[in-house]
Chains A and B, each alone.
Chain A
């Protein structure tokens, strides 16, 4: 099934499949961030593929000079019972990725979590607030340069 998915994706978006690999029978496809919404909409609406459930969206910090941050989309098809993992990368200077909330409603909180943890800004998101950390918190805890022990004084007591 992974081969079929990849072929369809390559046919429809010939220049958008930057990289693809298969590890333990799981297909991962790297795509440019400008095309991610179109690609997800295609994967969702294609009658054969029908990736209708967005299981998860989350960030990853590769800690490399270029393409430091990634956003990973985990799509599942209730009909074919298979998964695909889509990945986009973004530069540290330009932390913007288009929002997926227009295609999958569930992306709302997952993107908020990604923003909370990595500071990635989802353009067009209806309610981009922190979800776990307090609103006045200034750091992004899952970045690799955030220490495990936290930063002293960064979590202030609530104001009276």
Chain B
């Protein structure tokens, strides 16, 4: 039987005849009846605590209901009770595969509300860490996508590169995983020349390692057959379902907030947006691989153009003072006391600020009534919105493709569940 046609298996003639005569029959054949499969929340290939209820006809998926919320920690409620500075560590726990870009997205939103701007050096470093986070997230995608379809070597190789990146994050932020590196109006600390040298070596070597992985996959028949034409979504449907990030660019939509609404200093950078037409898992893989190379290009430009100077804006009423000055100077001590106890006092108003995170559009909406903590904060997380297109992608696919499609969508449940 061709399982890819739209028809469900036809009922046997006997059964049909019995039904036509308005009689009641019960017919239990495990091979012909539909089956409900419960996938997750503890499933190694669902990338976290995603639960899928899948309706199966034989091996073909005829329906899918994703259930999220197993990692819901109520960050929006917490944010209403935190000062603006206190919430920075919580942003690490959203998309925990790219905490640096969440840190940047959050402080950009708060700075937009406050109407302040970080100095140029801090802006360039923020851009640098956002691109590093993109590479680290896409490397994770590369490894897990390859492993989901059965190639274990790529997982090892991409994790070798991620390990080098974590060493870099440790040098930059002092922590490998939960970085909390940015501050309102600046950064926790400046990067040292040794870190820059280390980073330069890393980005110079990375394209070679990406090529190594591509050599294993791009012409690999098993990989291509598992991803080519699998999980297709059309351009119109993707826009309707609010898909953003690599998933949307794989449908032929050239939308990237770094180009569309440039933030930080992206309009001073020379880079391209990779766009593919397929809309399938393979196209999403190609987009991410190209994006890593574009990120390398951006980081190399940043390293050339990196301005010198301070990494903290001089706004004593808004920006936390340096620790050594708090202990030695009266004004800084007062400002630190006021900022920590009462928070920065923003103007009354509401803002929305979005960045192009590795998974898509990550935005923060803040409604401020002038107090030290937000009245309402909404996190527009790309993974939550992207997961909505999962039922469309896996409709009429085989059960074994479900895992490959989830991998190609690359959701992170910390972000989807908030």
Q: Taking beta carbons and an 8 Å cutoff, which residues of A are in contact with B?
A: 23-24, 26, 28, 52-56, 58, 60-61, 72, 74, 78, 81, 83, 85, 104-106, 108-110, 113, 117, 130-133, 141-142, 146, 148
* Chain B contacts with A in 6-65, Cβ cutoff 8 A: none
Inter-subunit contact A24/B242 (CB<8 Å) = no
Inter-subunit contact B115/A106 (CB<8 Å) = no
Inter-subunit contact A24/B76 (CB<8 Å) = no
Query: Provided the pairs A58-B365, A109-B384 are in contact, do residues A132 and B240 lie with their beta carbons within 8 angstroms?
Result: no
Bound-state Cα–Cα, A160 to B376, Å: 37
Query: Provided the pairs A23-B351, A108-B388, A133-B72 are in contact, do residues A81 and B260 lie with their beta carbons within 8 angstroms?
Result: yes
Inter-subunit contact A60/B351 (CB<8 Å) = no
Residue from the list A55, A60, A109 in contact with B363, Cβ < 8 A: A55
Inter-subunit contact B241/A60 (CB<8 Å) = no
Inter-subunit contact A109/B352 (CB<8 Å) = no
Inter-subunit contact A72/B365 (CB<8 Å) = yes
B350: chain A residues at CB < 8 Å are 23, 26, 28, 85
> Cβ of B255 < 8 Å from any Cβ of A?
yes
Closest chain A CB from B251 CB (angstroms) = 12
Bound-state Cα–Cα, A78 to B387, Å: 21
Bound-state Cα–Cα, A23 to B388, Å: 31
Main secondary structure of the interface of A (DSSP, over half): mixed
> Cβ of B112 < 8 Å from any Cβ of A?
yes
B378: chain A residues at CB < 8 Å are 56, 58, 72
B74: chain A residues at CB < 8 Å are 141
Query: Provided the pairs A72-B365, A148-B77 are in contact, do residues A78 and B376 lie with their beta carbons within 8 angstroms?
Result: no
Bound-state Cα–Cα, A85 to B349, Å: 13
Beyond A24-B113, A53-B239, A130-B69, list 10 extra A-B contacts (CB 8 Å): A54-B242, A55-B361, A58-B365, A83-B352, A104-B242, A105-B241, A117-B76, A131-B69, A132-B69, A141-B74
Inter-subunit contact A142/B77 (CB<8 Å) = yes
Inter-subunit contact B240/A105 (CB<8 Å) = yes
A109: chain B residues at CB < 8 Å are 384-385, 387-388
Of the A-B pairs whose beta carbons lie under 8 Å apart in the complex, a sample of 8, sorted by A's number, is A24-B112, A24-B115, A53-B239, A55-B363, A60-B367, A85-B350, A106-B388, A132-B418
Query: Provided the pairs A78-B255, A132-B69 are in contact, do residues A24 and B363 lie with their beta carbons within 8 angstroms?
Result: no
Most buried by B among A54, A78, A109, A142: A109
Q: What is the chain A residue whose CB lies nearest that of B259?
A: A81
Inter-subunit contact A106/B351 (CB<8 Å) = no
- The 5 closest A-B CB pairs, nearest first, are A106-B242, A132-B69, A132-B72, A23-B349, A105-B240
> Cβ of B121 < 8 Å from any Cβ of A?
no
Residue from the list A26, A28, A53, A81 in contact with B242, Cβ < 8 A: A53
Bound-state Cα–Cα, A28 to B367, Å: 12
Residue from the list A60, A81, A108, A132 in contact with B376, Cβ < 8 A: A60
Residue from the list B76, B237, B351, B376 in contact with A26, Cβ < 8 A: B351
* Chain B contacts with A in 97-115, Cβ cutoff 8 A: 112-113, 115
Inter-subunit contact B77/A81 (CB<8 Å) = no
> Cβ of B338 < 8 Å from any Cβ of A?
no
Inter-subunit contact A131/B380 (CB<8 Å) = no
The 0/1 profile, CB within 8 Å of A marked 1, for residues 88-131 of chain B is 00000000000000000000000011010000000000000000
Inter-subunit contact A148/B81 (CB<8 Å) = yes
A131: chain B residues at CB < 8 Å are 68-69
* Chain B contacts with A in 368-409, Cβ cutoff 8 A: 375-376, 378, 380, 384-385, 387-388
B375: chain A residues at CB < 8 Å are 60
* Chain B contacts with A in 329-356, Cβ cutoff 8 A: 349-352, 354
B363: chain A residues at CB < 8 Å are 55-56, 74
Bound-state Cα–Cα, A106 to B382, Å: 12
Closest chain A CB from B311 CB (angstroms) = 24
Residue from the list B68, B260, B349, B365 in contact with A56, Cβ < 8 A: B365
Residue from the list B81, B237, B242, B417 in contact with A55, Cβ < 8 A: B242
Inter-subunit contact A74/B352 (CB<8 Å) = yes
B184: chain A residues at CB < 8 Å are none
Bound-state Cα–Cα, A90 to B253, Å: 36
Bound-state Cα–Cα, A53 to B245, Å: 13
Closest chain A CB from B104 CB (angstroms) = 18
Closest chain A CB from B362 CB (angstroms) = 11
Bound-state Cα–Cα, A104 to B417, Å: 22
> Cβ of B261 < 8 Å from any Cβ of A?
yes
Inter-subunit contact A56/B351 (CB<8 Å) = no
A54: chain B residues at CB < 8 Å are 242
Closest chain A CB from B151 CB (angstroms) = 32
Q: What is the chain A residue whose CB lies nearest that of B71?
A: A132
